[in-house]
Amino acid sequence: MTEYRALKGIKVKTVSSDPPAAVGEGQMWYNSSALDYKTSVKVKAWASGGNLTAARSTGGGAGTQTAGLYAGGQTPPGPGTVNSEEYNGTAWTEGNNINTGRYEIGGTTAGTQTAGLIFGGNTAPGWNGVTATEEYNGTSWSNGEAMATTVSFLGGSGIQTAAFSAGGRTPSSTNNSQEYDGTDWANGNNINTTRQALVGVGTQTAGMIAGGEEPGGGSNEAETYDGTSWTSTATMGTARYRLSGSGSVYTASLVFGGRFNPPAADKAQTESFDGTSWTEEGDLATARQQLSGNRGTSTAALAVGGLTTAQVASTEEFSAAATVKVITDS
């Protein structure tokens, strides 16, 4: 067998024991005790996190994997809830209530745990859409300016002073987009494909929407936003709607879960986007739709709540952990 150093023309360091896995992705060495060539690689996977204090779906998510925020949601057949919860990386605890109970905002990932933002949604079964915007300061929720157009099941992202909303239900699907500057909402340019139950990631001047429900079923289409216009980009590998995602920067974002119809089936698939192409990652442990995400990254995300045969309270955490991999066996 040809040795690695003969192929590359460089000498691989010999050690008697493995260095820490986190020594650096792509680093290679020869373990003289095990008689193996080894390398450090990152393995991306979902792991169980803490449960919400109550099972519900289509609430709004924000924050990071270790400082998350979840607000609103629904436990059928009731109306939208006013509950909000905070996550510390281990457990969820109840926060102060939002002012307007609502759900169908699960495709929105806006703000942080101490500067959160929710907007739009539906208050009760049927069509009872709202334009209400609320801002969170880490302690209490206050009302902001109403949206320009009533919408639920929207895709949105950004921060408390610069957010966007795209697509959604009005009650029929829409191609409308809106922008928030921390004070007022204004209509933006239309997205290219009319849809609802999509997800939004990124910022107001560098955002992306993906998936959603179009006539006939789920969509795999994605569009990027530069603050002025929407441009179609690479399509996801799995078409779906009622999905969620994570990504303060859309060029390092993640989408997961959702539903596809026909045939009707909840999805566990996870895909990352690097600004050019989509890559399939490890599946969620629990396939679910109407879940919520957070404003994290493609290597540090939360999947919260959602719907299977009933509402769920479980949280899953997506991380990239370094591990040692054997390249050749002795």
Which letter, b or e, does each residue of 252-267 get, where b requires 16 or more Cβ atoms within 10 Å of its Cβ? bbbbbbbbbeeeeebb
8 A C-beta contact, residue 255 and residue 273? yes
**C-beta atoms surrounding 324 within 10 Å:** 17
Element (H, E) at 326: strand 315-328
Distance CA 147, CA 74 (A): 21
What pLDDT does residue 44 have?
Answer: 87
- Asked if 190 and 293 sit in the same domain, the reply is yes
Count how many domains the chain has. 2
What pLDDT does residue 57 have?
Answer: 97
- Asked if 62 and 177 sit in the same domain, the reply is yes
What pLDDT does residue 33 have?
Answer: 84
CATH of the domain at 309: 2.120.10.80
- Asked if 28 and 81 sit in the same domain, the reply is no
- Asked if 13 and 103 sit in the same domain, the reply is no
pTM of the model: 0.88
Q: Per-10-residue mean pLDDT for the chain, 330 residues long?
A: 48 81 69 80 89 97 97 93 98 98 91 97 96 97 97 97 97 97 97 97 98 93 98 98 96 97 91 98 97 95 97 96 69
8 A C-beta contact, residue 177 and residue 209? no
8 A C-beta contact, residue 98 and residue 72? yes
- Asked if 78 and 160 sit in the same domain, the reply is yes
Point out which residues pair with 166 in neighbouring strands. 155, 177
What pLDDT does residue 2 have?
Answer: 39
Which domain does 30 fall in, by range? 4-43+321-328
8 A C-beta contact, residue 49 and residue 302? yes
- Asked if 27 and 59 sit in the same domain, the reply is no
8 A C-beta contact, residue 230 and residue 177? yes
What pLDDT does residue 216 have?
Answer: 81
- Asked if 30 and 111 sit in the same domain, the reply is no
